[in-house]
Structure 1
């Protein structure tokens, strides 16, 4: 099985620069070998980035490799991507398009010997909510789909509907590539087909806090070998349980001011309740939401004392409208934001979230013998979000994190720590 190499290094440590230099160096080596051996096949790269804005960095920084960005052909980028792979071109594309690849394209990737480079961990397991209860019942009642008992994958029934074409065509495609997992009570998960990763000669993932990601849990469940590296002082070295990023975290510690005051009481742990979690917001009273909104307004106006144009905030999308307030509403930044510079001028940040795994996905991994690290998962999401601000330029910021749990995780991370199986502890 393909070994997954992970370049786990803190933001600002030079991961992308290292990868670009590696690609250009490999190209130079391939040119030299082609002179000695006319049959030498050059290394072909498929680079996957979170956003379209990141595509240009690779095309401009690796000019000799002539990276191609798939464009709509017959209104389909996937069609152009397939043509590019047929021609053996180096390709840079987004996570969104990569998720759409089918078995035909993967077969071509394997035959061409591509190396896969993934910037940021892939979203590999999600709740599948694109099918209504009525449509799900229709599919099952008409024997259009069935559940493979060995794999729990949802499969299209070609015996009863061999030539189907209609409004379920996209759903049929997902069944064909094995992306839909059937959970009890007809709950469906979308899952990236792990066998597709074996079509690449090498797989390199560039990220941070990888062991807290669902992608890590997923690769463990699928039996992949994972080799961890990091970047320290610009050089590649073995990953060392989190100690390699202490220098940068020390610098960030002097730039991040965490609000510590009475307005944080709204996020204090209370028995089995997890304030500011998605579940908590689903049950929160109008008075509780009003109080949180008022505290956020006060933070920006009286604590950070910042103009609205430099204020950033987030929460779960379902309560965004209820928490929008004076002086910060237009500074909304999605809580899953990563890989973008669009918010680099923000200097005061309100993080109104308390992250947990979706219980169904957590249970799915548990059934497969994998224990997930919810604290590292939550910390990773929060740090990525905070990193959208001007701190990426080395400028100070002020943050309001009323969740006692999330605030504690950030404090622990900012101080010298060593990661030990599912918990962060202060270094001696």
Structure 2
């Protein structure tokens, strides 16, 4: 299978710059080889970035490769991307469009020998909630779909319903790409088809704290070989569990001021409770939410003392209406925001979150023999969110993180030369001893 090379390096270490230099160097090499061998096929690149705002960087930084950004043709960017692959163009697009690629496009990518570069990890597994229980029953009762007993993938009955269009056309397409997986009998997961990654001659992923991501668990479950690398002083080096980040963290520590005071009490761990987790919010009283909202307002107005336009906050979307308050409401940034400079002016941030794997997805990986690292997953999500702020440009920030667990993860990360002070396995060993 295709080997996945991961450039796991701390924010600001130059991962994207390294990749751009690598692409340009490969182009120069291809041009030189073409003089000696007119039949030489130059390397073709497909670059996948989180947001449209990141597309321009590759277009402008690699002018000789003439990267193309798919545009709406007949109302569909996917149609244009298909044509660009047919023409053998270098392409830069977003994660969102990459998720929509079908088998015919991947076969073309394979034939053309494209190299895939992914900026930030792919969203590879998620709950599929676009099919109601009633529609699911209708599909199975009419034998329009069935579950493959080996792969557990939802399959379309092409023999009985070859020309189905309309209401279930999207389900049919997802079945054909192998993107829907049955779990716990009554639920479906959307999963990126792993065989699509084997269509590329090489895959490079640029990220940080990769081993905490679902993408890492997914690649392990699918049997891929993962080669861990990092960037140090502009050069490619062997990965060392983040222990080369010491100097960067020392600089970062001086820029981060974390609130430590009585308003954090609402997030104190208590037995088996996980304050500020999704389940906690589901059960939280009106009084508890009112207290958290009041504390957040106080943090921004009396602790950070920052104007509203420089404030940012996040929580679970389901409680956003009940937590928004004076001086920060318009500063909402989704917890999964990545790769954007849109919020680089934010000076004070409230992270009203206690992050855990979705239990169904965690169970799915567990059934496949993969143990996920909950703490590194949570740490990675929080750090990515914090790095939307002005710390990206080296300016100080003020943080309110009332969850005791999340605050400890951040302190542990800042004060160690590795990813966190102890991995989940090491913590279990220490408790057992």
What CA distance in whole angstroms lies between the structure 1 residues aligned with 2:426 and 2:45?
Answer: 36
> What is the match of residue 106 of structure 1?
106
Alignment of 1:72-221 (within 5 A): 72-221=72-221
- Whether the 8 Å CA contact 2:293–2:325 is kept in 1: the answer is yes
Alignment match, 1:343:
343
1:357-404, Cα deviation, whole Å (9 max, x unpaired): 000000000000000001000000000000000001100000000000
Question: CA RMSD for the aligned pairs?
Answer: 1.0
Equivalent residues in 2 for 1:288-327, closer than 5 Å: 288-327=288-327
1:423 deviation in Å? 6.2
Matches within 5 A, 1:357-376: 357-376=357-376
Query: What is residue 261 of structure 2 aligned with on the other side?
Result: 261
Please give the secondary structure, in 2, of the residue aligned with 1:370. Answer: coil
Counterpart of 1:247? 247
SS at match of 1:88: coil
Cross-structure match for 1:6: 6
3-state DSSP of counterpart to 1:369: coil
Q: Which residue of 2 aligns with 1:39?
A: 39
Are the counterparts in 2 of residues 124 and 191 from structure 1 also a CA contact under 8 Å? yes
For structure 1, list consecutive stretches of 5 or more residues without a partner in the other structure.
none
Q: Which moved more, 1:130-139 or 1:46-55?
A: 130-139
Aligned 8 A contact 1:232 1:245 in 2: no
Residue 274 (structure 1) aligns with: 274
1:422 aligns with: 424
Say whether the 8 Å CA contact 1:231–1:244 is kept in structure 2.
no
Contact 2:244 2:417 (8 Å CA) reproduced? no
1:159 positional shift: 2.4
How many positions carry a matched residue from both structures?
425
CA deviation vs aligned residue, 1:76-95 (integer Å, no higher than 9, x gap)? 11110010000000000000
More divergent stretch after superposition (159-168 vs 251-260):
159-168
1:390 maps to which residue? Answer: 390
Verify the 8 A CA contact 1:250 1:416 in the aligned structure 2: no
Aligned to 2:409: 409
Partner of 2:430: none
What is the CA-CA distance between 1:422 and the residue it aligns to?
A: 3.2
Q: Distance in 1 between matches of 2:163 and 2:255?
A: 61
Tell me the CA shift for residue 229 of structure 1: 0.4
Residue 132 of structure 1, CA deviation: 1.3
- SS of match in other structure, 1:7: strand
TM-score (norm 2): 0.97
> For the structure 1 residues 76 and 357, does the alpha-carbon distance in structure 2 shift closer, same or farther, using more than 3 Å as the test?
same
Q: Does structure 2 conserve the Cα–Cα contact (< 8 Å) formed by 1:6 and 1:205?
A: yes
Deviations 1:115-168 (A, max 9, x none): 000000000000001111121111111111100001100000122212111111
Q: Give the whole-Å Cα distance in 2 for the aligned partners of 1:19 and 1:255.
A: 28
State the shift of 1:424 in Å.
8.3
Runs of 4+ in 1 over 4 A off after TM superposition: none
Q: TM-score, normalised by structure 1?
A: 0.98
8 Å CA contact 1:349, 1:386 repeated in 2: yes
Confirm whether residue 57 of structure 1 aligns to residue 57 of structure 2.
Answer: yes
> Which whole-Å deviations, capped at 9, do the CAs of 1:160-209 have from their partners, x for residues lacking one?
21211111101100001100000123200000000010000000000000
- Aligned residues of 2:148 and 2:154 also touching (Cα < 8 A): yes
Give, in whole Å, the separation in 2 of the partners of 1:282 and 1:325.
20
Q: Pairwise mapping of residues 20-35 of structure 1 onto structure 2 (< 5 A)?
A: 20-35=20-35
Looking at structure 2, the residues matched to 209 and 240 of structure 1 have their Cα atoms a distance apart, in angstroms, of: 12
2: CA distance, partners of 1:417 / 1:399: 22
Take 1:82 and 1:17, find their aligned partners in 2: how far apart are those partners?
28
Counterpart-to-counterpart distance in 1, 2:189 and 2:293: 34
Provide the rounded CA distance (Å) in 1 between the counterparts of 2:245 and 2:418: 10
**Contact 2:340–2:388 (Cα < 8 Å) also in 1:** yes
Please give the secondary structure, in 1, of the residue aligned with 2:418: strand
| Whole-angstrom CA distance in 1 between matches of 2:99 and 2:23 | 23
Contact 1:3–1:225, Cα closer than 8 Å, also in 2? yes
Structure 2 segments unaligned to the other structure (5+ residues): 428-433
SS at match of 1:340: coil
Please give the alpha-carbon distance, in whole angstroms, between the structure 2 residues aligned to 1:143 and 1:131: 16
User: What's the CA shift string for 1:28-50, capped at 9, x where partnerless?
Assistant: 00000000000100000000000
Q: Is the 1:2–1:200 contact (alpha carbons within 8 Å) kept by the matching residues of 2?
A: yes
